[in-house]
């Protein structure tokens, strides 16, 4: 979704569609278990081929919307960009790992399968280790965010993700005492980040030259959302038996995800206020700081841990809570605009910086 589009019908009710996909997946998995096991066995180097196709269908339309030429705007918005980068890459993955340990190893351990707790934490780490690249355009518009800042920040995060995702995930999985299959992790980064970014970059240039970009994006958006729903159906087709036995797991996994969204968004919002950043930049900064690239997380979890793993389940729970929680953050940002602007502590600004 571009920065100029409102929240579409499908995106507005994404949580409902994901919930219905979960119900369908559990029902179909119980009715046709052999079919799902055949799909699960279609792998090359631990990469599930049907899921790879679905993830590409999700990711490519999103990446086509990113204008990497916007990176030259970074200096104009350096304080807002600095806050968002710090929260995205230095705080969010590590705070999620800590929250996962506190909640799942500690507070909720009695209600969880001990053999799955490590996988659950691994899924939470994957979920938090990369910032969202597409839905943030929607969140930014809903808080009247500065469109050029949002575009610049997303483009910069995508570039950083190419180099930082694998090391951060590897480090945190190692700290969580989870064996890291480095070959699969690097292959996932190559397949789901590097190649799609390169393909989208050149495809965008070609489509812009022909004046076809908007038409293609309009055509691909429904495909992207449909791929997400089908992926959820497949995941819960494998997870169905476990979920029927332990429905409480969904709620328990949703709690640390929700806490980390509020913590990181409010931290970014407060830091921007302390640095005197305009509200139109602070709003999208807070939302980008808290958002998760759940499409990548789902793909990586399946590749690293398998379809039937607790990690895959944790990333899907992230999809389930994404929209309602982020919409609540949007409401907080909008309702506190007066408070935010009344307490700005503005340092002496250079002329270019004042445009934030």
**What is the CATH classification number for the domain harbouring 96?**
1.20.1530.20
d(CA 143, CA 145): 5
Q: Which residue has the tokens 């480090």?
A: 171
CB of 136 closer than 8 Å to CB of 151: no
Q: Which region among 42-46, 305-309, 336-340 has the lowest average model confidence (pLDDT)?
A: 42-46
The parent domain of residue 71 ranges over 18-339
In whole angstroms, what is the distance from residue 26 CA to residue 202 CA? 39
Q: Rounded CA gap, 10 and 323, in Å? A: 11
Contact 240, 92 (CB under 8 A): no
**pLDDT score at 6:** 46
Identify the H or E element spanning 43.
strand 43-44
Is the pLDDT score of 87 beyond 80? Answer: yes
Segment 200-224, tens digit of pLDDT? 889 888 988 888 888 888 887 777 7
State the burial class of residue 210 (Cβ atoms within 10 Å of its Cβ: 0-12, 13-18, 19+).
exposed
Considering only residues 350 and 18, tell me which one the structure prediction assigns the higher pLDDT. 18
- Per DSSP, 194 falls in state I
Residue 352's pLDDT band, with cuts at 50, 70 and 90, is very low
- 243 located within any domain: yes
* Residue predicted with more confidence, 301 or 175: 301
1 belongs to a structural domain: no
CB neighbours (10 Å) of residue 190? 13
11 located within any domain: no
In a domain, 234, yes or no: yes
pLDDT tens-digit series, residues 154-210: 888 888 888 888 889 888 888 766 766 677 777 777 877 788 888 888 988 898 888
How many Cβ atoms from other residues are within 10 Å of residue 75's Cβ? 12
Which neighbouring-strand residues pair with 47? 44
Measured CA to CA, the distance from residue 1 to residue 11 in angstroms comes to: 9
- Position 349 scores a pLDDT of 44
d(CA 125, CA 119): 10
**Residues 51 and 299 sit within 8 Å (Cβ to Cβ):** yes
* Residue 14 binned pLDDT confidence (cut-offs 50, 70, 90): low
Rounded CA-CA distance 337/278 in Å is 10
Residue with the bigger pLDDT between 137 and 267: it is 267
Domain for residue 122, yes or no? yes
Q: Per-residue confidence at 5, pLDDT binned at 50, 70, 90?
A: very low
Q: How far is CA 139 from CA 4, 34, 81, 227, in A?
A: 11, 40, 17, 21
Q: What is the pLDDT of residues 243-270, one digit of tens each?
A: 666 678 888 999 999 999 999 999 999 9
What the block records as the tokens of 291 is 């958002």
Query: Higher-confidence residue: 203 or 242?
Result: 203
Does residue 4 lie in a domain region? Answer: no
According to the model, what pLDDT value does residue 149 have?
86
Residue 89 — very low, low, confident or very high, per pLDDT cuts 50/70/90?
very high
Would 352 be classed as within a structural domain?
no
Domain assignment present for residue 9? The answer is no
Q: In degrees rounded to 5, what are phi and psi of residue 26? A: -65, -45
- Residues 6+ away with beta carbon under 8 Å from 56: 196
Q: How many folded domains does the chain comprise?
A: 1
Q: How far is it, in rounded angstroms, from Cα 92 to Cα 98?
A: 10
């Amino acid at each position: 979704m571009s920065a100029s589009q409102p929240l579409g019908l499908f995106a507005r009710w994404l949580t409902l569609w994901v919930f219905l996909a979960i119900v369908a997946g559990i029902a179909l998995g119980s009715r046709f278990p052999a079919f799902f096991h055949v799909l699960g066995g279609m792998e090359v180097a631990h990469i599930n081929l049907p899921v790879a196709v679905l993830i590409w269908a999700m990711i490519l339309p999103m990446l086509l919307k990113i204008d990497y030429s916007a990176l030259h705007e970074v200096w104009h918005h350096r304080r807002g960009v600095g806050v968002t980068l710090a929260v995205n890459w230095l705080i969010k993955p590590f705070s999620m790992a800590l929250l996962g340990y506190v909640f799942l190893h500690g507070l909720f351990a009695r209600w969880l399968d001990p053999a799955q707790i490590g996988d659950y934490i691994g899924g939470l780490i994957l979920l938090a280790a990369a910032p969202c690249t597409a839905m943030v355009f929607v969140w930014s518009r809903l808080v009247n965010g500065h469109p050029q800042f949002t575009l610049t920040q997303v483009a910069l995060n995508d570039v950083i993700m190419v180099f930082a995702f694998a090391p951060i995930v590897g480090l945190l999985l190692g700290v969580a005492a989870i064996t890291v299959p480095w070959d699969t992790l690097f292959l996932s980064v190559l397949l789901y980040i590097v190649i799609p970014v390169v393909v989208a970059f050149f495809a965008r240039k070609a489509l812009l030259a022909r004046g076809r970009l908007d038409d293609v994006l309009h055509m691909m958006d429904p495909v992207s959302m449909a791929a997400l729903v089908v992926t959820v159906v497949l995941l819960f087709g494998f997870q169905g038996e476990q979920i029927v036995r332990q429905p409480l797991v969904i709620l328990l996994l949703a709690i640390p995800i929700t806490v980390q969204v509020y913590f990181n968004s409010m931290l970014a919002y407060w830091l921007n206020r302390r640095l005197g950043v305009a509200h139109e930049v602070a709003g999208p900064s807070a939302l980008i700081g808290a958002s998760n690239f759940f499409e990548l997380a789902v793909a990586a979890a399946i590749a690293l841990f398998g379809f039937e793993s607790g990690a895959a389940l944790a990333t899907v729970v992230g999809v389930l809570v994404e929209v309602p929680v982020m919409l609540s953050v949007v409401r907080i940002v909008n309702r506190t605009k007066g408070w935010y602007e009344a307490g700005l502590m503005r340092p002496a600004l250079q002329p270019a910086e004042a445009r934030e």
